[in-house]
A and B are shown apart, each in its own frame.
Chain A
C-alpha cells in the first residue's frame, strides 16, 4: 500500500458562459438525445482556455483541463496561480461542491475543506450553538465537538461571549470563532482556500502556526491555495502552479514560486506613463518607465534589488531629484532612495528621455511592500506616483520556527553573539 493519499486523474471542469435561460432547454434535449444514442456530448468538444484577458468566442470554457497529480500522505502543498488560473475551481472539485466534467479524484481517509470560514453560522444562535452547527457541517460528530469545545473557545478567545447570539459579535470575533472550529477539525486531508487571509496579523500567525503544527506533528496532508507567496512558502514544501486551467508545473515550492513570479511580471516592466500621479506640473516632467533587473525573479531577504527608471523632461530642469520609497501595508515608509545619494543634483540641460539604473539593498524582513516613485526639483514638487509596483520579499530558509515567532523587527539586522561565561 503506497503512501499516495490523493490521486487526481484527467480532471477537467467545463462551464457554460452567459445566461442560462432560453436556449438551454434545447441544448439539454440535444445533449440528452445524444446520451441516449450513446454518443459523446456534442458540447464538450467546443471550448477554450480560460484566459480572462481575452474576449471569449464560444459559449463554453474549460476552467480546468486535464489535471493529473498525486499527493502523498503528510505532504503540504501550495497551489498558486494568477486569478482565473483555476485554483478555486480545483478546490471546489476537491470539496465536492461541484462535480467534474471529466476525470476522477480518488482519496483515502477523511477530507475537509475550508473554502470560507463560518459557513452555516446563523446569527440567531449563540456562539456555543454555532460551534456545534458549524462543526457538524464540517463533518465532526457531536461527541467530538463536545470534547474539543473548551479548546475551541479558548483558541478563539471569546469565552465571555460564548452564550450570546452571534449576530452581536464583532466581525473579528466572528472570524476567530469560525476559524477556531475549523482549526480543530480532525481529518486526514485539509484543503484551505485563502481563508487564512482573514483576521488581524496576530491571529493569522496563530492560524498559520496551528496549520503548520497539524501538518508536521499530526501528519495531516494539507493543500493550501493562496496569493500570499510568503505564507505559501512558509507553510508548504511542495507546490503546483496552475495557469489558464492547466497544470503548468509541479515541484518543490521555491521552484514553483520562481516560475510563477517570472510568468507574472511581464518582463518585469511597469508602464509608469499610464499610471495616475499627483503633482502640479505634469507638463514639464513625466515619469515613464520602471523596470526590475534582477538575476532571479524572486527577491529574498537581504537581496540587492536593481531597477531602471525612465522619465521624460520636456523643458530643462534644475536640481532634479528622482527617488522612490518602499512602504509596508500599514503605510509606514521604511526605505527611501534618491538620485541625490550619487549625483547630488541632476541638472537637465536639454529636453528628452533619460533613464537611470539604481541598485539598493533594502534589508527588510519578508513581507509585501508598496513602491512609490516621485521627483522634485529646484522650484518644488514635480510628480509622485503611488503604488506603482509591489515588491514581495520572501523569507530565506523559512522553517516552522520562523512562522511561529517571526522577527518583530522590520529590518534584517545581522548580529553576532559570543558566550562570555560558562554558566557558573
Chain B
C-alpha cells in the first residue's frame, strides 16, 4: 500500500512563488541581521572619516541645486532652497541606494549563490535595512541644519500631523527601490546593458523629481512629472515640516499602489530568476 509521504521540502523544476517563500525568509531572519552587520562593519572599519562621508555628498549636491535654482529662478514654495533640496536629496538617496544596490544583487553575489542556498531575497532585504542607517544619519544632518537655520532666523518650521506618516513614507520609498531593484537585477542576469541604463536613469530621475515643486510648474511638464512615485513622498515630507501647501493624499495613495505593483512584479521575476541564474550569469 502506498502511503502519502510527508515531505518537508520538494525541489522541482517549476518555480512556485508562494507564501512558502516568505516563510523561508522568516526562517533565515538571523542571516539578514548578519548581512546588515557585515555591511555596516565593512563600510566603517579602517576609515578615518567614516560616517562623515555621508554628509559630503548631500551637501555638495544641495549646493549645486541651489545654484541652479537661483540661476533659473525656480520657485521653492516659500521654503528655504537649501532645506528644500536637502530633504529631497536625503529621501532620494535612500530610494536610489535601495534600487542601485539591489539591482546588482545577482551579479555581485554570483559566487556565494553558486555555492550555498539561502533565500536569495535576504540579500536585497539586508540592503534595504543597512541603507536605512545611512538614511537616518543624513536625516540627522538635515535636522541639524534646519535647527541652525531656525536659530539664525532664516526659516520657520510648521510641523504638521502628517509628520506621523514618516514611517509609512520610509516603507514606500524602500518598497519602490526594492521592487525596481529586483526587476532590474533579474533582467540583467541575461541582458547586461540594462545595468548601465540604471545608473543613467537614476541621475536623470533625480533632476526630474527634485528640481520642481508642486506648484509653479507649467502644466504639461508637471502632469508628466507627478507620475513619478517619489514626488508625492518628497512633497509630503516638505509639507509635513513646512506646511507650504495642502497634502495630496490621492497622489500618496498612487505612490503606494505603484510600490505594491513594483514589489509584486519584482518578487515574481526575482523568484523565477533565482532558480537558474547560476547557469547564465
Which A residues have a C-beta under 8 Å from some C-beta of B?
1-2, 4, 7, 15-16, 20, 24-25, 28, 92-111, 113, 115-116, 119-120, 122, 124-125, 129, 132-133, 136-142
Contact = CB atoms under 8 A, between A and B. Distances in A.
20 contacts: A1-B3, A1-B6, A25-B191, A92-B278, A94-B11, A97-B113, A97-B115, A97-B116, A99-B12, A99-B13, A104-B11, A104-B13, A105-B10, A105-B11, A105-B12, A106-B7, A107-B8, A108-B8, A116-B115, A136-B30
Interface in B23-64: 28, 30-31, 33-35, 37-38, 41-42, 45-46
Contacts of A103: 12-13
Nearest to A193: B115
Given A98-B279, A106-B11, A108-B7, 8 more contacts: A4-B5, A97-B117, A99-B276, A100-B13, A104-B12, A119-B112, A119-B115, A137-B118
B3 to A, nearest CB: 7
Nearest to B275: A99
Contacts of A142: 30, 33
A102 B14 CA distance: 9
B162 interface: no
A125 B116 contact: no
A13 B7 CA distance: 22
B214 interface: no
B114 interface: yes
A107 B7 contact: yes
A107 B30 contact: no
A100 B12 contact: yes
Question: Which of B3, B10, B279 counts the most A-chain CB atoms under 10 A from its CB?
Answer: B279
Given A2-B5, A20-B280, A99-B15, A115 B10 contact: no
Nearest to A8: B11
A119 B13 contact: no
Nearest to B4: A1
Given A7-B5, A137-B116, A122 B190 contact: no
B218 interface: no
B13 A102 contact: yes
In this complex, the interface size class of chain B, counting residues with CB under 8 Å from chain A, is 35 or more
B31 A108 contact: no
A134 to B, nearest CB: 9
Interface in B102-127: 112-118
A101 B13 contact: yes
Nearest to B32: A136
Nearest to A109: B8
B6 A108 contact: yes
Given A20-B190, A104-B10, A15 B279 contact: yes
A140 B118 CA distance: 11
A111 B34 CA distance: 21
A366 B3 CA distance: 45
Interface in B158-200: 190-191
Contacts of A120: 112, 116
Contacts of B18: none
A34 B80 CA distance: 59
Contacts of B28: 136, 139
A162 to B, nearest CB: 16
B9 to A, nearest CB: 6
A139 B6 CA distance: 22
